[in-house]
C-alpha cells in the first residue's frame, strides 16, 4: 500500500470487520424487541424508497451508495457504542503483534499520534451544555430544558432533526445521529431530555503477565493460557481495480482484545495489554432511547434508564410538564470498586486509564445481579439528582 491514507483505511477496515462479525451483528439483532426490529426495518425501507425515487444527492453519486439492509444499522449502532472505549484504540488493536512478528497491517506513527489527539479531545469535542429548570425557577411552573450539544456540524457524528409519529404509540421530536431510528435528544408531550458526554470510565485495560516460554500465552492464576487468535480478512482494491483479500490476526485474552500502543502499551516478552469495553455487551441502547421517546413522565423516563441501563457514555438531564428536573450519570460503567482498584491496579499508572492486573481472575469486574448487564454497576450505585429548581451540567 503506497500512501498513508491507504494504510489507515486498511487498518480501519480490519478494526470494523473485527468489531462487526456476523455473530456479533446477529446476536445484537436477536436481542432487539419485535418493536425495535420493526423500527430498524422501517428506517431501512424509508431510506431505500428515497434512494430509489429521488436518487442520491449530486455529491454522493458513487458506486458505494447502495440500498441499506437492517444489518447496516446494527453495525453503525455498534460503531457508535464503542466511541467511548475500544473505538479509541482501533490503531492499537490492529497494530498489536507478538514480539518479533511481522504485521500484515501496521498503522503508522502519524496514525497513533492522531488517535492520541482524538482521545484527548473526546470529551472536549463532544462535550455539551445542558440546563433542566424545574417549577421553582420556571415562568409557568412547568419544566424547561436547554439542550446545547457540541457534536460536529458535518460527518457521521452530526445530528439530524426528526419528528417520529406512530398514531397512538409515538409522537416525539428532536435530533438523532444518522442511522438511528430513535430520537437521541428531544421531547414529547410530557418530558424533554438531553445529554452531555460523561467522565465515567467505560473500559479498563488489563496488564497480562506473559508466559516466559511463549509470548502468545499469559499466566492466569498461575496457569499458562493461550491468547485466542482470530484471523480477520478484508478486501483491498488493487491498482487495476481488482480486489485482493488481506488477512490479519487479532489476539485476545479472556478480558478482551490485545492492544499495543508504541511507548505506552508495548507487547514485549514480559507483558501485553488487553482492553475490555463495557459497551460491547450493551445491546439495549436502541430500546433505551425508544423507551425515553415514549416516556409519559420524568419518573417513567428515569425508571426506563434504571431498568435497561442502555445509555452508553453520556449524562442525561431532563424536565417534565409537572416541573421536576433530573440529572443522571447512569451510563454503562465497569463494576470496579474502590477496594478492587486498590487491590488490582498499579497506582503509578494513574486514573486517566484504569489498568488492572490480568494475572488474577479475582481482578475481573464484579457482577451485581441487580445490574442489567454482567460486569457493570447497578443503576442505584451511580450518581443522580432530582430537584424542583434546576440542574445543570457543562463540559
SS3 110: helix
Contacts with 382 (C-beta within 8 Å, 6 or more apart), sequence order: 328, 329, 330, 331, 333
Instruction: Tell me if 342 sits within 8 A of 225, measured CB to CB.
Output: no
Distance of CA 20 to the CA centre of its chain: 13
Query: What is the CB neighbour count within 10 angstroms for residue 361?
Result: 10
Of 249, 256, 253, nearest to 219 by C-alpha is: 253
DSSP assignments along 115-172, one per residue: HHHHHHHHHHHH-EEEEEE-TTTSSSSS-EEEEEE---SSSTT--EEEEEEETTTEEE
Q: In this structure, are residues 202 and 333 in contact, taking their beta carbons and an 8 Å threshold? A: yes
Q: Nearest CA to 185 among 212, 216, 158, 209?
A: 158
Q: How far apart are CA 155 and CA 129, in angstroms?
A: 21
Of the residues 2, 12, 128, 331, which is catalytic?
A: 128
How far is residue 340's CA from residue 275's CA, in Å, rounded to a whole number? 17
215 included as an active-site residue: no
- What's the CA gap between 198 and 243, in Å, rounded? 42
What 8-state DSSP symbol labels residue 103?
-
HSE at residue 22, side-chain half, CA atoms within 13 A, is: 1
Residues ≥6 apart with Cβ < 8 Å to 257 = 18, 86, 93, 96, 250, 251, 274, 275
Give the closest residue to 227 by CA, choosing from 128, 358, 119: 358
Which three three-digit cell numbers place residue 258? 490485545
Tell me the H-state helices in the chain: 4-19, 22-30, 34-54, 70-81, 90-94, 109-126, 285-294, 298-308, 338-344
The residues assigned a catalytic role are 128
Amino acid at each position: 500500500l503506497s500512501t498513508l491514507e491507504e494504510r489507515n483505511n486498511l487498518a480501519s477496515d480490519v478494526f470494523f470487520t473485527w468489531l462487526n462479525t456476523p455473530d456479533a451483528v446477529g446476536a445484537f439483532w436477536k436481542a432487539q424487541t419485535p418493536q425495535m426490529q420493526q423500527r430498524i426495518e422501517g428506517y431501512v425501507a424509508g431510506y431505500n424508497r428515497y434512494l430509489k425515487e429521488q436518487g442520491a444527492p449530486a455529491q454522493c453519486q458513487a458506486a458505494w451508495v447502495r440500498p441499506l439492509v437492517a444489518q447496516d444499522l446494527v453495525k453503525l449502532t455498534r460503531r457508535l457504542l464503542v466511541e467511548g472505549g475500544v473505538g479509541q484504540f482501533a490503531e492499537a488493536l490492529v497494530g498489536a503483534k507478538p514480539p518479533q512478528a511481522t504485521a500484515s497491517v501496521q498503522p503508522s506513527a502519524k496514525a497513533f499520534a492522531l488517535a492520541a489527539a482524538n482521545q484527548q479531545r473526546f470529551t472536549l469535542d463532544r462535550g455539551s451544555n445542558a440546563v433542566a429548570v424545574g417549577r421553582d425557577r420556571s415562568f409557568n411552573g412547568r419544566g424547561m430544558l436547554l439542550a446545547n450539544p457540541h457534536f460536529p456540524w458535518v460527518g457521521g457524528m452530526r445530528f439530524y432533526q426528526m419528528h417520529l409519529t406512530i398514531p397512538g404509540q409515538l409522537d416525539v421530536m428532536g435530533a438523532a445521529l444518522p442511522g438511528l431510528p430513535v430520537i437521541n435528544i428531544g421531547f414529547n408531550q410530557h418530558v424533554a431530555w438531553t445529554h452531555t458526554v460523561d467522565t465515567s470510565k467505560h473500559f479498563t485495560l488489563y496488564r497480562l503477565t506473559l508466559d516466559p516460554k511463549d509470548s502468545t500465552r499469559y499466566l492466569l492464576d498461575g496457569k499458562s493460557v493461550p491468547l485466542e487468535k482470530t484471523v480477520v480478512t478484508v478486501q483491498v482494491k488493487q491498482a487495476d481495480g481488482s480486489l485482493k483479500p488481506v488477512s490479519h490476526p487479532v489476539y485476545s485474552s479472556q478480558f478482551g482484545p490485545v492492544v499495543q500502543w508504541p511507548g505506552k502499551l508495548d507487547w514485549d516478552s514480559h507483558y501485553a495489554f488487553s482492553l475490555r469495553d463495557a459497551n460491547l455487551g450493551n445491546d439495549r441502547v436502541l430500546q433505551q432511547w425508544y423507551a425515553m421517546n415514549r416516556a409519559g413522565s420524568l419518573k417513567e423516563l428515569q425508571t426506563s434508564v434504571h431498568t435497561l441501563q442502555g445509555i452508553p457514555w453520556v449524562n442525561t438531564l431532563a424536565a417534565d410538564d409537572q416541573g421536576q428536573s433530573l440529572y443522571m450519570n447512569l451510563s454503562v460503567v465497569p463494576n470496579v470498586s474502590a477496594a478492587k482498584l486498590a487491590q488490582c491496579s498499579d497506582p503509578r499508572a494513574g486514573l486517566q486509564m484504569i489498568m488492572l492486573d490480568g494475572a488474577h481472575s479475582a481482578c475481573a469486574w464484579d457482577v451485581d445481579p441487580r445490574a442489567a448487564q454482567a460486569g457493570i454497576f447497578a443503576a442505584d450505585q451511580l450518581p443522580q439528582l432530582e430537584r424542583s429548581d434546576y440542574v445543570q451540567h457543562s463540559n
